[in-house]
Every structure is written in C-alpha cells, then in structure tokens.
Amino acid sequence: MLQSALINVMVKAARRAGRSLARDLGEIEHLQVSLKGPADFVSKADKRAEQMLFEDLTKARPGYGFYGEEFGRREGTDKSHTWIVDPLDGTTNFLHGIPQFAISIALQREDTIIAAVIYNPANDELYTAERGKGAFMNDQRLRVAGRRQLHDCVIACGLPHIGRGNFTLALKEMAVLQPKVAGFRRFGAASLDLAQVASGRFDGYWERNLSAWDIAAGILMVREAGGTVSEIDGGDLLTTGNVVCGNEYVHDELTRLLRPLK
C-alpha cells in the first residue's frame, strides 16, 4: 500500500503519541489521575499525548484548526481544515492496564472527514483511511463483514457511564437486541469499536452520546471499508454522537429496531 503524504503525517504523529502512551502505561501511579465528572477520568497521559499530537500535526500543516478532547478548540488561520483528535480513547481501560485503547485522528475539510488514523499502541494495530481510497489495517485492505442475519452477528455497543447519557434507554435497547444477535461485546473504546466494524471482526456497533473526537476517524474507516454509518434517529452524527453502523443490512436492521425505543 502506498501511503499519501497526508496519511504519513498522521501516522507519524500517532506513533509518537503512541510511544508516549506506552511509556505511561508502565507508570500509572505517576499519572495524576483526576475526574472531569463522575467516572470521567483524565490523566497526564491523555494531556501529554494531546499536546504532542497538536505540535506534530500543526507543524506539518500550519494553519489547520485543532479540536481535541482535553484542550478543546484551537483555531487556525485555515478555516476549512480541522484536526479532530482523541489523544487517548479508552482512558478507563488504559488506567486499568487493559490493552484496548487508541489514538484517534481525523481530518475534516469543511463538513467532510477526508482522512483518518486510529492507532492502538498496545498491539500495534494501525488503521488508516482516506476518502475514496479505502481503509487499511497495517497493510491489509479492510472490508466490513458480509453477514446478513442479525442472529449470526456479533454486535459491539457502549453503555453510558454514571452522569452521562440515558442509562434506561441503553438497557431497553440491549433488552430488545440481545435475543436477536449472536452476541454483544462492550470494549470501552469507541474508535476501536468502529475500526473493528471496518475490519469485519464486529458485524455492527451502536452507542449514544459520544463526542466528535470519539467517532470522527471511525466513521470514515467504516465507510471506506464499504460499511454504512449513520445517526440512530436521523440527526447530525458528529453533533449528537448517536452512532449505528455495519454492512448495509446490519445497519438497516439495527436502526429499524433501535429507532422506536427512544
């Protein structure tokens, strides 16, 4: 696979931030963990990684805006390009030493996501996608799974943590879907849930109340792997963060079952 200059820039930045996270993983007791809200942890590792990504991406593309989870929006002179970045998706996993976390970088031009990188430094899985050019994991081209019957499907999901989202609705959704699917998985890193729908490991995924930095890169990843992604109730996906995806059949079936429950 020949990588474009843009993807190269993003991969280099993700790998450097990934080395920082890998070092921090061994030093969890020194990470000054604090709470942004109930069960919403942040640590020195998240902040250090975001600062590195900001420096590397802004150096490579001066003027682009930057929108990250920990430091918010930093405007650039180029109003049409914005990096949307989660420096550590899966903080709770990371702080427990569970190797399911990632750096997620998307580039948005006007309203369109044109490039994406999701990198899990714990297993060195690197997902890349560019609009119109396909999605890859390391050098392997990705394609969503082909299953068409929900009862054959493994579906990933997310539950809201304390103080965020509608827990009653999430439980209702799970109660309706559970008897219809082969199995649920809840891994705790939205970017990797989406990446693993792109790779065909999961047949589908839904979760509500996510933020743009959780899903921007993963949305492009799934679409470039031939999948369908949308907002569960038909709203603006990056605004509500209510995401549902899979191949066309799985996506449509999940949407049909989820919509009336709200």
Point out which residues bind Ca ion (CB under 5 A).
69, 86, 88-89, 91, 214
Q: How crowded is the C-beta side of 179, counted as CA atoms within 13 Å? A: 3
Q: What are the structure tokens assigned to 165, written together?
A: 């989202």
Tokens for 60, please give them: 């490579």
Q: Is 236 assigned a ligand-binding role in the annotation?
A: no
Give the sign of the dihedral formed by CA 5, CA 6, CA 10, CA 16. Answer: positive
Measured between alpha carbons, how far apart are the two ends of the chain, in Å?
A: 43
For ligand IPD, how many residues bind (rule: CB under 6 A)? 14
Q: Which does 221 bind (CB under 5 to 8 A by kind): Ca ion, ligand IPD, none?
A: none
223, HSE (Cβ side, Cα atoms, 13 Å)? 19
Our CB check for ligand IPD shows the closer of 64 and 213 to be 213
77-116 footprint of ligand IPD as x/- string (CB under 6 A): ---------x-xxxxx------------------------
Is residue 167 a contact partner of residue 160, using CB atoms and an 8 Å limit?
Answer: yes
Look up residue 111 and give its two tokens: 């309203």
> Two tokens at 29?
């007791």
Interface with ligand IPD in residues 186-205 (CB under 6 A)? 188-190
- In whole angstroms, the minimum distance from the beta carbon of 146 to ligand IPD comes to 26
Nearer to ligand IPD, 100 or 128 (CB): 100
Residues pairing with 86 in the sheet: 104
69 is in an annotated binding site: yes
- Please tell me whether 139 is known to bind a ligand: no
CB of 70 to ligand IPD, least distance (A): 9
Annotated binding site for Mg(2+): 69, 86, 88-89, 214
The residues of the shown chain that bind ligand IPD, judged by CB under 6 A, are: 69, 86, 88-92, 158, 188-190, 207, 210, 214
